[in-house]
Amino acid sequence: MKTFGYAAYDTTSPLAPYAFERRTLRGNDVAMEIIYCGVCHSDLHTARNDWGWSYYPIVPGHEIVGRVIEVGPDVSRYKVGDHVAVGCMVDSCMECDQCHRGEEQLCRQGMVGTYAGADRISGEPTQGGYAKHLVVREEFCLRMPDGLDLSRAAPLLCAGITTWSPLRHWNIGPGSRVGVIGLGGLGHMAVKLAVGLGADVAVLSRSPGKRADALALGADRLLVSEDAEAMAQAASAFDLIIDTVPVKHALDPYLPLLDVDGTLVIVGQIGPMDETSTVPLLLGRRRIAGSPIGGIRETQELLDFCAKKNILPDCEMIRMDEINHAFERMEKSDVRYRFVIDMASLAA
Ligand SMILES: [Zn+2]
Ligand SMILES: [Zn+2]
């Protein structure tokens, strides 16, 4: 299937138009026309090969909302015209214990990334959602529930599930006390989702300047991490802290804020860390954990939850040819809170 999109051609050049082929439909494949695609920090890291696993040309994009245009003969869950979505992965072994538990993101053989991956059958490089069409096996296709605003839903597929999964794993609900570090694409979703689950939510920020934004997103309060007195008062005040800061930073200031058995979960790839004191870990049986995206079942649960509760990311819609400018702005955190590409703007 011929298609076209925008690709990075090397580590430094701006993204540019790219014509390429999607695979011929297999029995269990769904083909979709992409309507919207969110812009994730990982897209930029991959375009620049910051993590060392890129190939070129590479088409980024793993917050994909589309409409089914064709299905393979064995597809049972979707039909032409359905609104669907694809997130950060397009395949896994489907046979290991993790896949059987619905945690394909933790597949023993490794999940296949929507981009920067290799197709499990053909070995061909996968290409993401900055494109007109996508072909995916139906098990990795999500259903967009009726009532969910398609134009704002795309960031749920990465930013949303990446924060939803730890909230669910640590059983956050009414009475839970949740802290969120960082108020970008992931952080703003962590706040909205934790509030939606009924938790008491604080945003942790270095400066008080984010207070109005935090409260507007539904947080109960802002805790200023440079304010020593406020931080001392907040000792043992959280059950879960979701750390969404995408660059290297110290964890030490935050660990004493966890209650006994509390967890600080890192959801971004931040590379090697500075030394962290183990004293607060021991004295409070506290944990530092990591969490990557979430499983397919959990992602569907998130989409259904957001439709029911009318929880949506705050998006800024852009045209496909504005992507390079969007990358520049994203690097300066100049977006509230996620760019979404309107794929109708992508002309052949
Ligand atoms: Zn992402
Ligand atoms: Zn597996």
pLDDT score for 5: 98
What does DSSP assign to residue 243? Answer: E
The predicted-structure confidence for 255-278, as pLDDT tens digits, reads as follows: 999 999 999 999 988 888 888 899
Distance of CA 197 to the CA centre of its chain: 18
| 75 C-alpha to ligand 1 centroid (Å) | 27
Every domain range in the chain assigned CATH 3.40.50.720: 160-290
- Judge whether 64 and 160 are in contact, CB under 8 Å: no
Gap between the Cα atoms of 255 and 252, Å rounded: 6
The predicted-structure confidence for 292-306, as pLDDT tens digits, reads as follows: 999 999 999 999 999
- Judge whether 337 and 314 are in contact, CB under 8 Å: yes
pLDDT score for 202: 98
Token pair for residue 206? 């270095």
- pLDDT over 90 (residue 313): yes
Average pLDDT score over the chain:
96
The predicted-structure confidence for 111-141, as pLDDT tens digits, reads as follows: 999 999 999 999 999 999 999 999 999 999 9
Q: Which ligand lies nearest to the CA atom of residue 99 in the structure?
A: 2
| 109 C-alpha to ligand 2 centroid (Å) | 6
pLDDT score for 253: 94
| Residues 207-231, mean pLDDT to the nearest whole number | 96
Task: Give alpha helix (H) positions in 180-295.
Answer: 185-196, 211-216, 228-233, 279-284
The predicted-structure confidence for 11-67, as pLDDT tens digits, reads as follows: 999 999 999 999 999 999 999 999 999 999 999 999 999 989 999 999 999 999 999
DSSP letters spanning 282-341: HHHT-EEEE--S--HHHHHHHHHHHHHHT----EEEEEGGGHHHHHHHHHTT-SSSEEEE
| Percent of all residues in the chain with a pLDDT value above 90, rounded to a whole number | 94
| Residues 90-118, mean pLDDT to the nearest whole number | 98
CA dihedral sign, ordered 123, 124, 130, 131: negative
| 103 C-alpha to ligand 2 centroid (Å) | 8
Q: Which ligand lies nearest to the CA atom of residue 101 in the structure?
A: 2
- Judge whether 4 and 20 are in contact, CB under 8 Å: yes
pLDDT score for 148: 96
| 62 C-alpha to ligand 1 centroid (Å) | 6
| 101 C-alpha to ligand 2 centroid (Å) | 9
| 272 C-alpha to ligand 1 centroid (Å) | 20
Q: Supply the CATH classification number for the domain 160-290.
A: 3.40.50.720
- Judge whether 35 and 152 are in contact, CB under 8 Å: no
- pLDDT over 80 (residue 348): no
| 88 C-alpha to ligand 2 centroid (Å) | 15
- Higher confidence at residue 347 or residue 345? 345
157 φ/ψ sector (left φ>0, alpha ψ -120 to 50, else beta) = alpha
Render the burial of 126-138: b for 16+ CB within 10 Å, e for the rest: bbbbbbbbbbbbb
Q: State the DSSP H helix or E strand holding residue 165, giving kind and residue range, or none if neither.
A: helix 159-169
| 38 C-alpha to ligand 1 centroid (Å) | 9
- pLDDT over 90 (residue 72): yes
pLDDT score for 272: 84
Every domain range in the chain assigned CATH 3.90.180.10: 2-158+312-345
Terminal alpha carbon distance of the chain: 14
Q: Supply the CATH classification number for the domain 2-158+312-345.
A: 3.90.180.10
| 111 C-alpha to ligand 2 centroid (Å) | 7
